[in-house]
Amino acid sequence: MKNISIIMGRGIEGCGVTKFTLEQLAYHKSVGDSVKVFASKDKSWTRKNAHNVEEIECFKFADKELASNMIRECNEKDFVIINSLPPLSAPDAAKETFQRLLDEVKVPIALIQHDHAMASIRRNACLDEAIKRADVIFAHSPSNGFANYAGELVGPKVSLFGTEEGTPIVSFQPGMAFEPVRNKYWVKDLNRVDTEHHKWIGRTTSWKGYIEMFKFVENYLKPNGQLTTYEGIERSPAYLGFRELAEFEECLADDIASYNFTESYGGNAHVFGPYIQEEMLHRMALSGFGYQLSRLKPEYIFRSIEYTHCEVVCTGTIPVFNKRYGERCTHRATGKKLIEHEESGTIWLDENNLENAWNQMREVGLCHMTRNKMRNDAYEFYRQHQDASHTFKELTNKILKHI
């Protein structure tokens, strides 16, 4: 049994790192480890209520007494995992506590960086200090901005004796327990599924693929009488540009659960704000097609897919993913690119050939046999790729190897 502390310096932001931490906690509990998670409460985030975080100890890092208790508990563990750093906008006292943690914790520390680009990573406080203190560093890709930056500070260098010195910088994949999600949301009776409903999920960040989605809506979904809904679009500064992309029904303040879509087929997309994860997944399961259209620079993609990819698959809808992502991402078990597999159960949306995706959707249509095969193929394909039983075991083994 391993005794572990996990630190969320950024707090409960409600997006990928929060989901990662909850899945990580569940995995370690399932294998008999003892885990305590500490999260900063010094800054509040828009999506803080997206997940159930009752198992996480949230407190203001600015509270010196509580901070001292956290550091003491960390020193009683086998190792500490840092899942996020405090934002630059956090109170000075909270950032000072995080620096104290780096200075006063004597057990090994593993630093996991979930962002890819340095523009985002530089918004974190204590960045260089955390990199230099860590005993092992994890990045999504060995060639992304963070891996290169960390490598300049502490990365492996060949010594005069021909051996590598420095802090190891290695890749990781986020993990999700697929089976519980499937058991909770999968719709067995396909007659309940609205095969003309297309649901995109994400947030107001252009690399989430909403531009490609609007093109598909305007050229294929609207002309063919389909219903399109977006979930997760918040009123961030990027929303000003989002509004200029196409005409849509602005439903940011409405309760989607009570919305009547009867007259919406063949019309503009309906755009809703941030969602509660459980409620959204039930809606996704009743939709014909689920869209996760993230696109990243080639150097940012190695093996990781996002949690929203996994969630779409586990609801039993037909996954529609960005073709460019599939061309760049390597399957954990096979070593081939995702798009090279014939039975991935995935429709790959190519912004240069949207018609191909639409033709595949027409083939799925109301054919229960085709739909059922595709969604089961997708479930098995991505479960082998990123189920928590594989990825968190690999992550833990890498930590133990390098500390």
CA 96 to chain centre: 29
| Residue-wise pLDDT tens digits, 116-160 | 778 788 899 999 999 999 999 999 998 898 999 999 998 776 556
Residues above pLDDT 90, as percent of the chain: 80
pLDDT of amino acid 163: 61
pLDDT of amino acid 43: 78
| Residue-wise pLDDT tens digits, 61-76 | 999 999 999 999 999 9
Strands 194-201 and 169-171: unpaired
Taking 70 as the pLDDT cut, the residues of the chain under it are 46-48, 157-164, 252-254
In the chain, the domains with their CATH numbers are 3-176+388-402 (3.40.50.2000), 178-386 (3.40.50.2000)
pLDDT of amino acid 252: 67
* DSSP E strand boundaries for 184-286: 194-201, 227-231, 248-250, 269-272
Cα four-point dihedral sign 37, 175, 190, 259: positive
Euclidean distance between CA atoms 347 and 200, whole angstroms? 14
Assess contact for 230 and 271: CB atoms under 8 A.
yes
At residue 194, the 3 state secondary structure works out as strand
pLDDT of amino acid 287: 98
pLDDT of amino acid 253: 59
Task: Name every residue whose Cβ is closer than 8 Å to that of residue 394 and which is 6 or more positions away in sequence.
Answer: 172, 173
Euclidean distance between CA atoms 401 and 26, whole angstroms? 22
